[in-house]
Amino acid sequence: MFYGIDLNTRLMLGTAQYPSPEVLRAAISASDAEVITVSLRREGPGGSGFRDILQDSGCRILPNTAGCHTVREAVTTAHMARELFGTPWIKLEVIGHADTLQPDPFALVEAARILCADGFDVFPYTTEDLIVGEKLIEAGCRVLMPWGAPIGSGQGLRNIGGLRAMRAHFPQVPLVIDAGIGAPSQAMQAMEMGFDAVLLNTAVAKALDPVAMARAFSDAITAGRLAREAGLMPARDMAHASTPVFGMAELLA
């Protein structure tokens, strides 16, 4: 549940970089996503056709502040997005490093505090840092979106230990893996670890067949969640025979 909204699917899909509007439309449908993200800058001038695709999808729109590097820029962009898309939801990005696109934790917390106070439902793009997560919760965020790896890198879950610690530290907070996912197996791993959803864009948009890839991610996330709920077997240091020794026939010389 995200800000009081129950979703039936756990894949959130970005809408940038697709080869054509038709492919974007088909990929959204194949993914079964109920939430799609859109950058206000991407929507831009002359974007009425793009807005039609978003509206026709039937998905809930999660605008983002992609490309913002300061608190003021992010807050201004969020207000413009709320006016344009008519939703209090905002994926908050405040980038602090040009190469890694790592969020600036200090500016992120400040911007989150301002936007939460102004009635936004903030989805902050953050790292797996527990202290930053606590500060974002204190600022009013009810969801955290830790990165798996740098945006668009396809490296998957680069800090497994850190992400496991975050899941354990915030057991009641919805956590969405955002950024760095490059393969369906990586998204499945996130779900097996107990994360609530996965947000991705490049891995689908830049695939040879984005529609087929969107379907693959949808199936992987469903499988990962089912596995988590079914109860994964624990890893062992030693072998453990699946066939019991007791009851086996004894061969006498």
Residue 87 tokens read as 């939703």
Q: How many helices (H) and strands (E) does the chain have?
A: 10, 8
Specify the residue for token string 């998905």.
Answer: 59
Known binder of ligand: residue 201? yes
Is 77 annotated as belonging to a binding site?
Answer: no
Known catalytic residue at 91: yes
For the beta carbon of residue 230, count every other beta carbon within 10 angstroms: 8
**100: annotated binding-site residue?**
no
Q: Does 179 carry a binding-site annotation?
A: yes
DSSP strand pairing (11-14 vs 35-39): parallel
Residue type (1 letter), 178: D
Annotated ligand binding at 243? The verdict is: no
CA–CA separation, 92 and 115 (whole Å): 9
- Catalytic-role residue among 82, 91, 167, 225: 91
The CA distance from 159 to 102, in Å, is 14
In eight-state DSSP terms, residue 239 is -
| Token output for 145 | 């979106």
State how far the Cα of 9 lies from the Cα of 104, in Å rounded to an integer: 30
Residue ranges of the binding site for 1-deoxy-D-xylulose 5-phosphate: 152, 179-180, 201-202
Residue ranges of the binding site: 152, 179-180, 201-202
Q: Report the catalytic residues.
A: 91
